[in-house]
Amino acid sequence: MESIINTIVARPPAPGHRLRVVGLDGTETIDLSELYAQAGRLAAHLHSQGVERGDRIGILAANSLEWVLLDLAALRLGVVTAGFEPGKFEASDELLTRYDLKHLFTDRSAKEIRHLAESETKATPPTPRYEPTDTTTLKFTSGSTGRPKGLAASVGSIDSSLRAVQEMFQHGPDDDLFIFLPLSLLQQRYWIYSALRYGHDVTVSTYEAAFLAMRQTQPTVVMGVPGFYESAKKHIEARAAASNRTHHQEARKLFGDRIRYLWTGSAPASAAMLRFFTAAGLPIYEGYGLNETCIVSKNHPGAHREGSVGRVLPGKHVLIDPDTNAVSVRSDFPVNTRYAYAQPGESERMFAPDGTVRTGDVGHIDDDGFLYIHGRADDTIVLDNGKKVVVRPIEEAMKASPAIAECVIFCPGQTKLVAVVSPSHEPPDHDAIATHLAQTNATLERDERIHKVVVASPPFSIEGDTLTSQFKPKRSRILDLHRAEIHDSDRGIHA
């Protein structure tokens, strides 16, 4: 079976489909055949400057056409890209040295990249042919603490994931896939590769411009994390209440009239949010995967079960420990079998000797092959009385309030639960938070009840280093920032 990566570097796509890049400052549109041609010219220039197969280039920039061109030019050369997320990394000589970069391209390189891609230049160098174990990119775990770990991603893992997704969702000529998370996250680039291979449109935007861009471009598929959809749900509910229109009408107004389905993953999604969008006429499908495994399972139109994260994909093997319910994943085409950059012992903790990934999650597989994730192994708090409390369902219950965007629970002294919540808006609605705290506690057993709530100020954010790039709370960072309030019995909203 021909490699998808080999296919997209070896021959141009058929004309008629396009890439759009939509930001707050405007829209750029380019036919995919012209994108391929420009990437070839850029590859030729990089090669003339001494960039050769096996070298590594870094890209530290916001989503842009230049980002896409550099990534595709690197594929055309057999060069490894290292995608650095702005805000998490700073351009420096140390970055070049630490990650052995031949060049580091930043937002300031944009004009030069565009000029080189659009101008006539030397002949394109020979097209590389990739083996499944070859790597094309160095990606970084989002991580909640410390320096991000590097992971070189194999061609085999990319190919197998794209092929499995295409079998499930059948993206075709009428589709426009919408992405807005950073292109430094490899999976966001999957959809550009998919467009080049399978013939559909793709739109790249940013989180800040996402809602504006959707109204403008009318996508058929939106790729988003649960936090994005939670924000959209609250917006739709508020607009529907104010306008006397239905959730369906407001959802279509926000996402556009052409939505075929919504994709979510990367973090746990609440059942209430998933049901909301499906009931509003926008079916949403949750999946499961890690940086270290790529996509493991996915709900889709042909196989969907509420509460699960879908059936396990071909080429993935999920192993459930019979004693602890710990989830491990073995892949026919692993992303890799160790980290490229990590502290001593970190690779060994994550990867078994045969490459099996210890996910740190707990779950089970039902008789029909659907995978259910119950939470992280470390989501369980053991109180001083021996009672075990699983905090994820409690956090999800708190997030059901329109006044609360995110919730993280701690247990100082292993006696009473304390929630740190990020308000949905500022100033926070303390009365609404207090009311919801009381309502939530009324549904819980005594040991599961929240003793008090600390309202984070400022709210959690990527810029404040309290959310990852995929909008997951950084628990240890949040604990460090709010330790004094968590431990001070006089501060916070008490039950």
Q: Which residues does 301 contact at the CB level (< 8 Å), separation at least 6?
A: 168, 169, 261, 283, 285
The whole-number pLDDT of residue 142 equals 57
Rounded CA-CA distance 270/394 in Å is: 11
pTM equals 0.83
The separation between the first and the last C-alpha atoms of the chain, rounded to the nearest angstrom, is: 60
- 85-110 tens-digit pLDDT: 888 888 888 899 999 999 999 988 87
The whole-number pLDDT of residue 145 equals 47
State mean pLDDT over 441-458: 93
User: Which alpha helices (H) appear in 400-474, and where do they start and end?
Assistant: 430-442
pLDDT at 45 over 60: yes
Cα angle vertex 133, ends 132, 138, to 5°? Answer: 110
DSSP code string of 307-364: TS--EEPTTEEEEE-TTT-EEEEEESS-S-SS-SB--TTHHHHHB-TTS-EEEEEEEE
Computed over every residue of the chain, the mean pLDDT equals 92
- Least confidently predicted of 117-131, 275-289, 363-377, 416-430: 117-131
Share of the chain above pLDDT 90, in %: 74
pLDDT at 37 over 90: yes
The whole-number pLDDT of residue 144 equals 44
The whole-number pLDDT of residue 469 equals 73
User: Which alpha helices (H) appear in 64-185, and where do they start and end?
Assistant: 65-77, 93-98, 110-118, 155-169
The whole-number pLDDT of residue 146 equals 57
Cα angle vertex 269, ends 267, 274, to 5°? Answer: 150
- 159-212 tens-digit pLDDT: 999 999 999 999 999 999 999 999 999 999 999 999 999 999 999 999 999 999
- Give buried/exposed letters for 133-148 (b at 16+ CB in 10 A, else e): ebbbbbbbbbeeeeeb
Do the beta carbons of residue 97 and residue 122 sit within 8 Å? no
Could you tell me the CA-to-CA distances from 347 to 84, 147, 470, 471, 474 in Å, in that order? 21, 14, 22, 24, 21
Q: How confident is the model at residue 330 (pLDDT cuts 50, 70, 90)?
A: very high
- What proportions of the chain, in percent to the nearest 5, are helix, strand and coil? 35, 25, 40
- Give buried/exposed letters for 283-308 (b at 16+ CB in 10 A, else e): bbbbbbbbbbbbbbbbbbeebbeeeb
Q: Which residue has the higher pLDDT, 387 or 335?
A: 335
Q: How confident is the model at residue 43 (pLDDT cuts 50, 70, 90)?
A: very high
pLDDT at 416 over 60: yes
The whole-number pLDDT of residue 1 equals 76
Rounded CA-CA distance 305/220 in Å is: 22
pLDDT at 395 over 60: yes
Provide the CA 147 distance to its chain's centre, in angstroms. 18
pLDDT at 232 over 80: yes
Rounded CA-CA distance 365/52 in Å is: 46
Question: CA nearest 363: which of 355, 372, 354?
Answer: 372
Question: CA nearest 456: which of 439, 438, 478?
Answer: 478
Q: Which residue has the higher pLDDT, 41 or 125?
A: 41
Q: Which residue has the higher pLDDT, 379 or 219?
A: 219
State mean pLDDT over 393-411: 92
pLDDT at 324 over 90: no
pLDDT at 461 over 50: yes
Q: Which residues pair with 467 in a beta bridge?
A: 473
